[in-house]
Amino acid sequence: MPRPQWAQRWTDSWASMPTPIRKILAASVGAVTLITGVALLVLPGPGIVVILIGLAILGTEFAWARRSMHKVKHHGSRVTRGITRKKKPETNENAINEQ
């Protein structure tokens, strides 16, 4: 599936920026987003989602953020599989004895 034209323009303009400016922009926007996400863990709001967005922004320029995102995805999928795994039906001995 081809990318939309606006996405291609955005990617091209981001890639054409000098590396130090790209790193500074990614670091500042990503850090603010990440800190906001941490604050939203105790405040009302989608803290985990905002933290993931912040890591994704930082991951565009920094390898440590890409590794962190990979770990979060890996552990998140394990947790999701554990939650969605079907449990065996429990037998209620009291209900059986009452009949």
The answer to whether residue 10 sits within a structural domain is no
- Asked if the structure places residue 22 within a domain, the reply is yes
C-alpha separations of 56 from 14, 24, 33, 98 in Å: 15, 15, 10, 57
Q: What phi and psi, each to the nearest 5 degrees, are found at residue 45?
A: 155, 170
pTM higher than 0.75: no
Q: How many domains does the chain have?
A: 1
How far does Cα 11 stand from its chain's mean position? Answer: 21
Q: Spell out the per-residue pLDDT of the chain, length 99, in tens.
A: 777 888 888 888 888 888 888 899 999 999 999 999 999 999 998 988 999 899 988 988 888 888 888 888 888 888 888 888 766 656 665 555 555
Question: Domain range holding 24?
Answer: 18-72
Residue 61 is assigned to a structural domain of this protein: yes
- 86 backbone dihedrals φ, ψ, rounded to 5°: -70, 135
User: For residues 78 and 59, what is the distance between their CA atoms, to the nearest angstrom?
Assistant: 22
In a domain, 37, yes or no: yes
| Residue 8 covered by a domain | no
